[in-house]
Amino acid sequence: MPVRARPRIDGTMQRMPEPITVQVHCRLTVTVDDPAAITDLAVRQLRAANIDWAEEEDDLETATAELRADLVRSVAAVADPERMLAGTPGLTIDGGHVWAELGS
């Protein structure tokens, strides 16, 4: 494994292993007891997001209507993969992808 080095306080170099990229796969099953609460949260988060709507195919009102009409899309919209490992020492979260589908 390649190694990096970082300076120590005494001026010598400390060898450090190169970072390793790991993909974490997770499947969550959730029960939605209050669909309106989920869609309302998804809409609030959408409205608060820093989105340049001029660069998007939809506008804010169309995107809002789509979230209100699709509970599965709203659940995916409020899922936050970065929170799962937030604060874990020794790793950096570089992004993620979340989707939702109806369960059985």
How many Å apart are CA 71 and CA 69, to the nearest integer?
7
Domain-embedded: residue 73 = yes
DSSP 8-state assignment for residue 104? -
Model-wide pTM > 0.75: no
Domain-embedded: residue 102 = no
Q: How far is CA 32 from CA 4, 41, 53, 75, 103, in A?
A: 47, 13, 30, 9, 11
Full domain range(s) for residue 32: 3-84
Domain-embedded: residue 97 = no
For the chain, how many structural domains are there in total?
1
Residue 91 half-sphere exposure, CB side, CA atoms within 13 Å? 15
Domain-embedded: residue 61 = yes
Span 39-48, pLDDT tens digits: 999 999 999 9
Span 50-78, pLDDT tens digits: 999 899 999 999 999 999 999 999 999 99
The H-assigned helical ranges of 1-104 are 35-48, 60-69, 71-78, 81-84
15: β partners: 5
Domain-embedded: residue 57 = yes
Domain-embedded: residue 91 = no
* Amino acid occupying residue 37: A
Domain-embedded: residue 72 = yes
